[in-house]
Structure 1
Protein backbone atom coordinates (compact mmCIF):
# COMPACT_ATOMS: atom_id res chain seq x y z
CA UNK A 1 0.00 0.00 0.00
CA UNK A 2 1.10 3.54 -0.76
CA UNK A 3 1.39 4.74 2.84
CA UNK A 4 1.95 1.47 4.68
CA UNK A 5 3.30 2.13 8.19
CA UNK A 6 3.36 5.91 7.83
CA UNK A 7 2.43 8.15 10.76
CA UNK A 8 0.68 11.28 9.49
CA UNK A 9 -0.59 14.47 11.10
CA UNK A 10 -3.60 15.93 9.27
CA UNK A 11 -4.96 19.40 10.01
CA UNK A 12 -8.18 21.00 8.83
CA UNK A 13 -10.77 18.20 9.07
CA UNK A 14 -14.06 20.08 9.50
CA UNK A 15 -16.41 18.47 6.95
CA UNK A 16 -16.57 15.04 5.34
CA UNK A 17 -16.48 16.86 2.00
CA UNK A 18 -13.19 18.61 2.81
CA UNK A 19 -9.87 17.85 1.15
CA UNK A 20 -8.30 17.10 4.54
CA UNK A 21 -10.99 14.54 5.36
CA UNK A 22 -10.36 12.72 2.10
CA UNK A 23 -6.59 12.82 2.64
CA UNK A 24 -7.08 11.23 6.06
CA UNK A 25 -9.43 8.62 4.59
CA UNK A 26 -7.09 7.71 1.73
CA UNK A 27 -4.15 7.61 4.13
CA UNK A 28 -5.90 5.12 6.39
CA UNK A 29 -7.00 3.02 3.43
CA UNK A 30 -3.40 3.01 2.21
CA UNK A 31 -2.00 1.77 5.51
CA UNK A 32 -1.15 4.96 7.41
CA UNK A 33 -1.82 5.79 11.03
CA UNK A 34 -3.45 9.24 11.23
CA UNK A 35 -3.60 11.86 13.96
CA UNK A 36 -5.86 14.88 13.48
CA UNK A 37 -5.65 18.37 14.94
CA UNK A 38 -8.35 20.79 15.99
CA UNK A 39 -8.93 23.42 18.66
CA UNK A 40 -11.51 25.40 20.57
CA UNK A 41 -15.09 25.24 19.38
CA UNK A 42 -14.15 23.30 16.24
CA UNK A 43 -12.85 20.38 18.32
CA UNK A 44 -16.40 19.05 18.72
CA UNK A 45 -16.99 19.29 14.95
CA UNK A 46 -13.72 17.53 14.13
CA UNK A 47 -14.52 14.79 16.65
CA UNK A 48 -17.89 14.12 15.01
CA UNK A 49 -16.45 14.09 11.48
CA UNK A 50 -13.52 11.89 12.54
CA UNK A 51 -15.95 9.10 13.39
CA UNK A 52 -16.85 8.89 9.69
CA UNK A 53 -13.31 7.78 8.80
CA UNK A 54 -12.52 4.06 8.41
CA UNK A 55 -10.83 4.18 11.83
CA UNK A 56 -11.54 6.96 14.31
CA UNK A 57 -8.21 8.74 14.79
CA UNK A 58 -7.01 10.61 17.87
CA UNK A 59 -7.24 14.39 17.83
CA UNK A 60 -4.68 16.73 19.40
CA UNK A 61 -5.24 20.36 20.33
CA UNK A 62 -3.52 22.77 17.93
CA UNK A 63 -4.22 26.42 17.22
CA UNK A 64 -1.48 27.34 14.75
CA UNK A 65 -1.49 30.94 16.01
CA UNK A 66 -0.79 29.81 19.60
CA UNK A 67 2.89 29.58 20.59
CA UNK A 68 1.91 27.36 23.52
CA UNK A 69 0.06 24.88 21.30
CA UNK A 70 2.90 24.79 18.80
CA UNK A 71 5.46 24.17 21.55
CA UNK A 72 3.31 21.40 23.01
CA UNK A 73 2.64 19.67 19.69
CA UNK A 74 5.46 17.08 19.82
CA UNK A 75 4.46 15.84 23.27
CA UNK A 76 0.77 15.78 22.35
CA UNK A 77 1.45 13.78 19.19
CA UNK A 78 3.80 11.36 21.00
CA UNK A 79 0.88 10.31 23.17
CA UNK A 80 -0.50 8.58 20.08
CA UNK A 81 2.41 7.88 17.69
CA UNK A 82 6.17 7.79 18.31
CA UNK A 83 7.11 9.95 15.33
CA UNK A 84 5.73 11.55 12.16
CA UNK A 85 6.45 10.73 8.53
CA UNK A 86 4.25 13.47 7.10
CA UNK A 87 2.16 16.53 7.84
CA UNK A 88 -0.77 17.93 5.88
CA UNK A 89 -1.33 21.68 6.25
CA UNK A 90 -4.97 22.38 5.36
CA UNK A 91 -5.49 25.64 7.22
CA UNK A 92 -6.72 28.98 5.98
CA UNK A 93 -8.68 31.91 7.31
CA UNK A 94 -9.22 35.57 6.55
CA UNK A 95 -11.69 37.98 8.19
CA UNK A 96 -14.49 39.27 5.94
CA UNK A 97 -12.73 42.62 5.62
CA UNK A 98 -9.78 40.96 3.89
CA UNK A 99 -11.99 40.27 0.87
CA UNK A 100 -12.18 44.00 0.06
CA UNK A 101 -8.71 44.76 -1.25
CA UNK A 102 -8.79 48.56 -1.14
CA UNK A 103 -10.62 48.84 2.18
CA UNK A 104 -9.06 46.06 4.26
CA UNK A 105 -7.33 47.06 7.47
CA UNK A 106 -3.87 45.85 8.44
CA UNK A 107 -5.47 43.86 11.25
CA UNK A 108 -7.54 41.93 8.69
CA UNK A 109 -4.52 41.39 6.45
CA UNK A 110 -2.27 40.40 9.33
CA UNK A 111 -4.75 37.76 10.45
CA UNK A 112 -5.00 36.33 6.93
CA UNK A 113 -1.22 36.16 6.52
CA UNK A 114 -0.66 34.72 9.99
CA UNK A 115 -3.22 31.93 9.74
CA UNK A 116 -2.93 31.20 6.02
CA UNK A 117 0.80 31.63 5.33
CA UNK A 118 3.06 31.93 8.36
CA UNK A 119 1.30 28.92 9.89
CA UNK A 120 2.92 26.64 7.29
CA UNK A 121 6.37 27.46 8.66
CA UNK A 122 5.10 27.40 12.24
CA UNK A 123 3.55 23.96 11.80
CA UNK A 124 6.60 22.53 10.03
CA UNK A 125 8.88 23.85 12.77
CA UNK A 126 6.62 22.45 15.50
CA UNK A 127 6.53 19.01 13.85
CA UNK A 128 10.24 18.93 13.08
CA UNK A 129 11.32 17.17 16.32
CA UNK A 130 9.04 14.27 15.33
CA UNK A 131 10.29 13.97 11.74
CA UNK A 132 13.39 12.48 10.17
CA UNK A 133 14.84 12.04 6.69
CA UNK A 134 12.17 10.92 4.25
CA UNK A 135 9.47 13.05 5.86
CA UNK A 136 7.05 15.15 3.86
CA UNK A 137 5.15 18.38 4.47
CA UNK A 138 2.25 19.03 2.10
CA UNK A 139 0.11 22.17 1.94
CA UNK A 140 -2.93 23.30 -0.04
CA UNK A 141 -3.23 26.49 -2.03
CA UNK A 142 -5.34 28.25 -4.62
CA UNK A 143 -2.86 29.29 -7.32
CA UNK A 144 -1.71 32.75 -6.25
CA UNK A 145 0.16 33.70 -9.41
CA UNK A 146 -2.91 35.63 -10.51
CA UNK A 147 -5.16 38.38 -9.17
CA UNK A 148 -8.45 36.53 -8.83
CA UNK A 149 -11.90 38.07 -8.50
CA UNK A 150 -13.08 38.34 -4.86
CA UNK A 151 -9.98 36.62 -3.38
CA UNK A 152 -8.17 39.89 -2.61
CA UNK A 153 -5.91 39.74 0.49
CA UNK A 154 -6.43 36.01 0.81
CA UNK A 155 -4.75 35.77 -2.58
CA UNK A 156 -1.83 37.78 -1.21
CA UNK A 157 -1.69 35.46 1.80
CA UNK A 158 -1.63 32.46 -0.52
CA UNK A 159 1.23 34.02 -2.48
CA UNK A 160 3.11 34.27 0.80
CA UNK A 161 2.14 30.66 1.55
CA UNK A 162 3.59 29.49 -1.78
CA UNK A 163 6.80 31.41 -1.16
CA UNK A 164 6.99 29.96 2.36
CA UNK A 165 6.86 26.48 0.86
CA UNK A 166 9.93 27.23 -1.25
CA UNK A 167 11.90 28.55 1.71
CA UNK A 168 10.91 25.54 3.81
CA UNK A 169 12.08 23.28 0.98
CA UNK A 170 15.43 25.10 1.08
CA UNK A 171 15.87 24.84 4.85
CA UNK A 172 14.42 21.37 5.47
CA UNK A 173 15.89 19.70 2.39
CA UNK A 174 19.29 19.14 4.07
CA UNK A 175 17.40 17.21 6.78
CA UNK A 176 15.84 15.00 4.12
CA UNK A 177 12.37 16.51 4.51
CA UNK A 178 10.36 17.45 1.42
CA UNK A 179 7.94 20.40 1.27
CA UNK A 180 5.39 20.65 -1.52
CA UNK A 181 1.98 22.17 -2.12
CA UNK A 182 -1.05 21.24 -4.18
CA UNK A 183 -2.92 23.97 -6.06
CA UNK A 184 -6.50 22.78 -6.23
CA UNK A 185 -9.34 24.07 -8.31
CA UNK A 186 -12.38 25.46 -6.45
CA UNK A 187 -13.95 22.93 -4.11
CA UNK A 188 -16.95 23.60 -1.86
CA UNK A 189 -15.06 23.46 1.42
CA UNK A 190 -15.58 25.38 4.65
CA UNK A 191 -12.93 27.87 3.57
CA UNK A 192 -14.54 28.40 0.17
CA UNK A 193 -17.95 29.01 1.70
CA UNK A 194 -16.49 31.84 3.78
CA UNK A 195 -15.37 33.74 0.66
CA UNK A 196 -18.07 36.09 -0.65
CA UNK A 197 -18.70 35.53 -4.34
CA UNK A 198 -16.73 32.27 -4.53
CA UNK A 199 -19.39 30.85 -6.83
CA UNK A 200 -17.85 32.96 -9.62
CA UNK A 201 -14.95 30.50 -9.71
CA UNK A 202 -17.32 27.56 -9.81
CA UNK A 203 -19.19 28.96 -12.82
CA UNK A 204 -16.05 29.44 -14.93
CA UNK A 205 -13.90 26.49 -13.97
CA UNK A 206 -15.85 23.63 -15.47
CA UNK A 207 -16.05 25.25 -18.89
CA UNK A 208 -12.38 26.36 -19.12
CA UNK A 209 -10.68 23.35 -17.57
CA UNK A 210 -9.94 20.90 -20.43
CA UNK A 211 -10.57 17.90 -18.17
CA UNK A 212 -13.66 19.52 -16.69
CA UNK A 213 -14.09 20.15 -12.99
CA UNK A 214 -16.44 19.01 -10.23
CA UNK A 215 -16.57 21.48 -7.35
CA UNK A 216 -18.03 18.77 -5.12
CA UNK A 217 -15.23 16.25 -5.66
CA UNK A 218 -12.22 16.65 -3.36
CA UNK A 219 -10.87 13.18 -4.16
CA UNK A 220 -8.46 14.09 -7.02
CA UNK A 221 -6.80 16.73 -4.85
CA UNK A 222 -6.65 14.39 -1.86
CA UNK A 223 -5.01 11.69 -3.96
CA UNK A 224 -2.29 14.12 -5.04
CA UNK A 225 -1.65 15.03 -1.41
CA UNK A 226 -1.45 11.36 -0.46
CA UNK A 227 1.04 10.72 -3.26
CA UNK A 228 3.25 13.59 -2.10
CA UNK A 229 3.10 12.28 1.47
CA UNK A 230 4.29 8.89 0.23
CA UNK A 231 7.78 7.77 -0.80
CA UNK A 232 6.90 7.99 -4.50
CA UNK A 233 8.31 11.53 -4.89
CA UNK A 234 11.66 11.21 -3.10
CA UNK A 235 13.41 13.94 -5.12
CA UNK A 236 10.57 16.46 -5.41
CA UNK A 237 10.48 19.49 -3.13
CA UNK A 238 9.58 23.15 -3.36
CA UNK A 239 6.99 22.18 -5.96
CA UNK A 240 3.41 23.29 -6.61
CA UNK A 241 1.36 20.53 -8.22
CA UNK A 242 -1.81 21.65 -9.98
CA UNK A 243 -4.94 19.55 -9.54
CA UNK A 244 -7.39 21.82 -11.32
CA UNK A 245 -8.51 20.00 -14.44
CA UNK A 246 -5.83 21.85 -16.42
CA UNK A 247 -7.40 25.29 -15.89
CA UNK A 248 -4.02 26.87 -15.01
CA UNK A 249 -2.57 26.02 -18.44
CA UNK A 250 -5.31 27.64 -20.50
CA UNK A 251 -5.54 31.18 -21.86
CA UNK A 252 -8.73 33.12 -22.54
Structure 2
Protein backbone atom coordinates (compact mmCIF):
# COMPACT_ATOMS: atom_id res chain seq x y z
CA UNK A 1 0.00 0.00 0.00
CA UNK A 2 1.35 3.42 -1.00
CA UNK A 3 2.11 5.94 1.72
CA UNK A 4 0.12 9.15 2.10
CA UNK A 5 3.05 11.21 0.75
CA UNK A 6 3.87 8.91 -2.15
CA UNK A 7 5.49 10.91 -4.95
CA UNK A 8 5.57 14.18 -3.01
CA UNK A 9 8.63 16.40 -2.66
CA UNK A 10 9.04 18.09 0.70
CA UNK A 11 11.50 20.62 2.13
CA UNK A 12 12.03 20.34 5.89
CA UNK A 13 13.81 22.82 8.14
CA UNK A 14 14.94 22.36 11.73
CA UNK A 15 16.45 18.87 11.76
CA UNK A 16 19.03 19.54 14.48
CA UNK A 17 19.00 16.38 16.59
CA UNK A 18 17.17 13.07 16.77
CA UNK A 19 15.00 14.69 19.44
CA UNK A 20 13.84 17.38 16.98
CA UNK A 21 10.20 17.19 15.94
CA UNK A 22 11.45 17.96 12.42
CA UNK A 23 13.66 14.84 12.43
CA UNK A 24 10.67 12.65 13.23
CA UNK A 25 8.61 14.45 10.57
CA UNK A 26 11.38 13.77 8.04
CA UNK A 27 11.54 10.11 9.09
CA UNK A 28 7.78 9.56 8.79
CA UNK A 29 7.62 11.55 5.55
CA UNK A 30 10.18 9.20 3.99
CA UNK A 31 8.33 6.17 5.33
CA UNK A 32 5.16 7.55 3.72
CA UNK A 33 6.81 7.87 0.31
CA UNK A 34 8.10 11.44 0.18
CA UNK A 35 11.36 12.62 -1.33
CA UNK A 36 12.82 15.16 1.09
CA UNK A 37 15.44 17.88 1.23
CA UNK A 38 16.67 19.47 4.47
CA UNK A 39 17.90 22.93 5.38
CA UNK A 40 20.15 23.79 8.31
CA UNK A 41 21.75 26.70 10.13
CA UNK A 42 24.24 27.44 11.62
CA UNK A 43 25.80 23.96 11.40
CA UNK A 44 24.81 22.05 8.24
CA UNK A 45 27.37 19.34 9.09
CA UNK A 46 25.40 18.52 12.25
CA UNK A 47 22.21 18.05 10.22
CA UNK A 48 24.12 15.95 7.67
CA UNK A 49 25.17 13.59 10.48
CA UNK A 50 21.64 13.36 11.86
CA UNK A 51 20.27 12.77 8.35
CA UNK A 52 22.29 9.56 8.18
CA UNK A 53 19.84 8.14 10.74
CA UNK A 54 16.85 8.58 8.44
CA UNK A 55 15.32 5.51 6.76
CA UNK A 56 16.69 6.56 3.34
CA UNK A 57 19.77 8.69 4.06
CA UNK A 58 21.50 8.16 0.76
CA UNK A 59 19.43 10.69 -1.20
CA UNK A 60 19.01 13.43 1.41
CA UNK A 61 20.69 16.72 0.54
CA UNK A 62 21.25 19.41 3.21
CA UNK A 63 21.22 23.08 2.19
CA UNK A 64 22.62 25.83 4.41
CA UNK A 65 19.85 28.35 5.04
CA UNK A 66 19.83 31.34 7.36
CA UNK A 67 16.26 32.63 7.03
CA UNK A 68 17.38 36.10 8.11
CA UNK A 69 19.85 36.26 5.21
CA UNK A 70 18.22 37.46 1.98
CA UNK A 71 21.07 36.06 -0.14
CA UNK A 72 20.39 32.59 1.29
CA UNK A 73 16.67 32.97 0.51
CA UNK A 74 17.35 34.23 -3.01
CA UNK A 75 19.48 31.20 -3.90
CA UNK A 76 17.20 28.63 -2.25
CA UNK A 77 14.87 28.04 -5.19
CA UNK A 78 17.77 27.22 -7.51
CA UNK A 79 19.40 24.84 -5.04
CA UNK A 80 16.14 22.98 -4.44
CA UNK A 81 15.50 22.82 -8.19
CA UNK A 82 18.89 21.14 -8.67
CA UNK A 83 17.99 18.40 -6.20
CA UNK A 84 14.25 17.86 -6.61
CA UNK A 85 13.43 19.20 -10.06
CA UNK A 86 10.85 21.84 -10.91
CA UNK A 87 8.16 20.96 -8.34
CA UNK A 88 7.83 21.20 -4.59
CA UNK A 89 4.74 19.92 -2.78
CA UNK A 90 5.35 20.87 0.83
CA UNK A 91 7.38 22.92 3.30
CA UNK A 92 7.92 22.28 7.01
CA UNK A 93 8.80 25.41 8.98
CA UNK A 94 10.45 24.32 12.23
CA UNK A 95 12.44 27.45 13.00
CA UNK A 96 12.52 29.46 16.18
CA UNK A 97 15.11 31.57 17.95
CA UNK A 98 15.24 34.27 20.61
CA UNK A 99 18.34 35.80 22.18
CA UNK A 100 18.88 34.80 25.79
CA UNK A 101 17.88 38.23 27.07
CA UNK A 102 14.43 37.70 25.56
CA UNK A 103 13.78 34.61 27.71
CA UNK A 104 13.84 33.47 31.31
CA UNK A 105 11.88 36.15 33.14
CA UNK A 106 13.42 39.18 31.43
CA UNK A 107 10.29 40.19 29.49
CA UNK A 108 10.05 43.76 30.80
CA UNK A 109 13.73 44.47 30.23
CA UNK A 110 14.33 42.94 26.81
CA UNK A 111 15.63 45.50 24.28
CA UNK A 112 13.84 45.90 20.97
CA UNK A 113 16.87 44.64 19.04
CA UNK A 114 16.47 41.22 20.66
CA UNK A 115 12.70 41.23 20.12
CA UNK A 116 13.24 42.14 16.46
CA UNK A 117 15.68 39.24 16.02
CA UNK A 118 13.20 36.81 17.59
CA UNK A 119 10.34 38.08 15.42
CA UNK A 120 12.39 37.99 12.22
CA UNK A 121 13.65 34.44 12.66
CA UNK A 122 10.65 32.86 14.42
CA UNK A 123 7.66 34.52 12.69
CA UNK A 124 8.50 36.55 9.59
CA UNK A 125 10.53 33.63 8.25
CA UNK A 126 7.32 31.64 7.68
CA UNK A 127 6.43 34.17 5.00
CA UNK A 128 9.94 34.70 3.60
CA UNK A 129 10.70 30.98 3.40
CA UNK A 130 7.39 30.22 1.70
CA UNK A 131 7.76 33.03 -0.82
CA UNK A 132 11.31 31.91 -1.66
CA UNK A 133 9.91 28.48 -2.53
CA UNK A 134 6.55 29.51 -4.01
CA UNK A 135 7.81 29.43 -7.64
CA UNK A 136 8.32 25.67 -7.19
CA UNK A 137 4.82 25.08 -5.79
CA UNK A 138 3.25 25.19 -9.22
CA UNK A 139 0.65 22.54 -8.41
CA UNK A 140 -0.33 23.96 -5.03
CA UNK A 141 0.91 22.37 -1.87
CA UNK A 142 1.08 22.51 1.90
CA UNK A 143 3.09 24.66 4.30
CA UNK A 144 3.18 23.42 7.90
CA UNK A 145 4.75 25.31 10.79
CA UNK A 146 5.25 24.57 14.47
CA UNK A 147 3.91 26.74 17.27
CA UNK A 148 3.53 26.64 21.04
CA UNK A 149 0.05 27.76 22.06
CA UNK A 150 0.12 31.56 22.00
CA UNK A 151 -3.25 31.99 23.74
CA UNK A 152 -1.47 32.09 27.10
CA UNK A 153 1.47 33.73 28.84
CA UNK A 154 3.80 30.89 29.84
CA UNK A 155 6.41 31.07 32.62
CA UNK A 156 9.92 31.85 31.39
CA UNK A 157 8.84 31.81 27.72
CA UNK A 158 8.71 35.60 27.57
CA UNK A 159 9.19 37.09 24.07
CA UNK A 160 8.92 33.71 22.36
CA UNK A 161 5.23 33.96 23.30
CA UNK A 162 4.57 37.09 21.23
CA UNK A 163 6.67 35.66 18.39
CA UNK A 164 4.47 32.56 18.34
CA UNK A 165 1.38 34.80 18.36
CA UNK A 166 2.87 36.61 15.37
CA UNK A 167 3.62 33.26 13.71
CA UNK A 168 0.01 32.15 14.19
CA UNK A 169 -1.33 35.40 12.72
CA UNK A 170 1.14 35.19 9.83
CA UNK A 171 -0.10 31.70 9.02
CA UNK A 172 -3.70 32.91 8.83
CA UNK A 173 -2.81 35.77 6.48
CA UNK A 174 -0.74 33.45 4.32
CA UNK A 175 -3.68 31.06 4.15
CA UNK A 176 -5.80 33.97 2.93
CA UNK A 177 -3.37 35.16 0.26
CA UNK A 178 -2.06 31.80 -1.00
CA UNK A 179 -5.38 30.00 -1.23
CA UNK A 180 -5.87 31.19 -4.79
CA UNK A 181 -2.73 29.21 -5.68
CA UNK A 182 -4.07 26.12 -3.86
CA UNK A 183 -1.33 26.45 -1.25
CA UNK A 184 -2.50 25.60 2.27
CA UNK A 185 -0.83 26.98 5.38
CA UNK A 186 -1.40 25.38 8.78
CA UNK A 187 0.34 25.05 12.12
CA UNK A 188 0.82 22.24 14.60
CA UNK A 189 0.73 23.40 18.22
CA UNK A 190 2.74 20.78 20.09
CA UNK A 191 2.98 20.37 23.83
CA UNK A 192 6.40 20.61 25.48
CA UNK A 193 8.95 18.14 24.16
CA UNK A 194 12.57 17.60 25.13
CA UNK A 195 14.00 18.99 21.93
CA UNK A 196 17.12 21.12 21.62
CA UNK A 197 14.95 24.21 21.16
CA UNK A 198 12.92 23.46 24.29
CA UNK A 199 15.97 22.82 26.43
CA UNK A 200 17.33 26.25 25.52
CA UNK A 201 14.37 27.85 27.33
CA UNK A 202 15.21 28.70 30.95
CA UNK A 203 12.72 27.05 33.30
CA UNK A 204 11.56 24.52 30.70
CA UNK A 205 11.10 21.85 33.38
CA UNK A 206 8.72 24.13 35.27
CA UNK A 207 6.70 24.66 32.11
CA UNK A 208 6.59 20.95 31.37
CA UNK A 209 5.18 20.12 34.82
CA UNK A 210 1.93 21.82 33.85
CA UNK A 211 1.22 18.93 31.48
CA UNK A 212 1.59 16.33 34.23
CA UNK A 213 -1.33 17.78 36.14
CA UNK A 214 -3.63 19.22 33.47
CA UNK A 215 -3.33 17.24 30.24
CA UNK A 216 -6.33 14.89 29.76
CA UNK A 217 -4.18 12.45 27.77
CA UNK A 218 -0.93 11.17 29.20
CA UNK A 219 1.87 13.40 27.93
CA UNK A 220 5.34 12.09 27.20
CA UNK A 221 8.11 14.69 26.95
CA UNK A 222 10.26 12.34 24.88
CA UNK A 223 7.68 11.27 22.29
CA UNK A 224 7.91 13.51 19.23
CA UNK A 225 5.99 11.12 17.00
CA UNK A 226 2.44 12.45 17.60
CA UNK A 227 3.43 15.97 16.53
CA UNK A 228 5.42 14.59 13.58
CA UNK A 229 2.45 12.50 12.43
CA UNK A 230 0.24 15.61 12.49
CA UNK A 231 2.77 17.46 10.32
CA UNK A 232 2.86 14.61 7.81
CA UNK A 233 -0.94 14.38 7.76
CA UNK A 234 -1.19 18.10 6.96
CA UNK A 235 1.39 17.71 4.19
CA UNK A 236 -0.71 14.97 2.62
CA UNK A 237 -3.86 15.17 0.49
CA UNK A 238 -5.97 14.06 3.45
CA UNK A 239 -6.58 17.71 4.48
CA UNK A 240 -7.39 19.15 1.04
CA UNK A 241 -9.63 21.99 2.27
CA UNK A 242 -7.95 22.82 5.59
CA UNK A 243 -5.96 26.04 5.76
CA UNK A 244 -5.33 28.74 8.34
CA UNK A 245 -5.80 26.09 11.02
CA UNK A 246 -3.89 25.28 14.21
CA UNK A 247 -3.92 21.58 15.06
CA UNK A 248 -3.23 21.03 18.76
CA UNK A 249 -1.09 18.00 19.56
CA UNK A 250 -0.79 18.72 23.26
CA UNK A 251 -2.68 15.91 24.97
CA UNK A 252 -5.76 18.14 25.03
CA UNK A 253 -4.41 20.67 27.53
CA UNK A 254 -5.48 23.63 25.37
CA UNK A 255 -9.12 22.69 26.08
CA UNK A 256 -8.78 22.53 29.87
CA UNK A 257 -9.16 25.47 32.25
CA UNK A 258 -8.11 24.57 35.78
Q: Could you state the TM-score of these two structures normalised by the residue count of structure 2?
A: 0.96
Show structure 1 runs of 5+ residues with no match: none
Match among 88, 91, 94 for residue 90 of structure 1: 94
Residue 102 of structure 1 aligns to a residue in which SS? helix
SS of the residue corresponding to residue 92 of structure 2 reads: strand
In structure 2, distance between residues paired with 1:27 and 1:178 = 18
Q: CA RMSD in A?
A: 0.8
User: Aligned residues, how many?
Assistant: 251
Q: Partners of 2:226 and 2:182 in 1: how far apart?
A: 27
Counterpart in 1 of 2:241? Answer: 235
Deviation at 1:39, TM superposition (A): 3.1
CA distance in structure 1 between the aligned counterparts of 2:134 and 2:219, rounded to whole angstroms: 36
Provide the C-alpha distance between the structure 1 equivalents of 2:161 and 2:186, rounded to a whole number of angstroms.
18
Structure 2: give runs of 5+ residues left out of the alignment.
none
> Quick one: distance in 2 between partners of 1:52 and 1:206?
31
Select 1:11's aligned residue among 10, 13, 35.
Answer: 13
1:88 match: secondary structure: strand
Establish whether residue 171 from structure 1 lines up as the match of residue 177 from structure 2: yes
Structure 1 contact 206–214 (Cα < 8 Å) conserved: no
Select 1:106's aligned residue among 78, 90, 112.
112
3-state SS of the aligned residue for 2:66?
coil
Q: Are residues 1:213 and 2:215 paired? A: no
Relative to the length of structure 1, the TM-score reads 0.98
Question: After the TM superposition, which segments of 4 or more aligned residues of structure 1 sit over 2 Å from their partners?
Answer: none
Deviation of the 1:206 alpha carbon: 2.3
Structure 1 counterpart of 2:64: 61
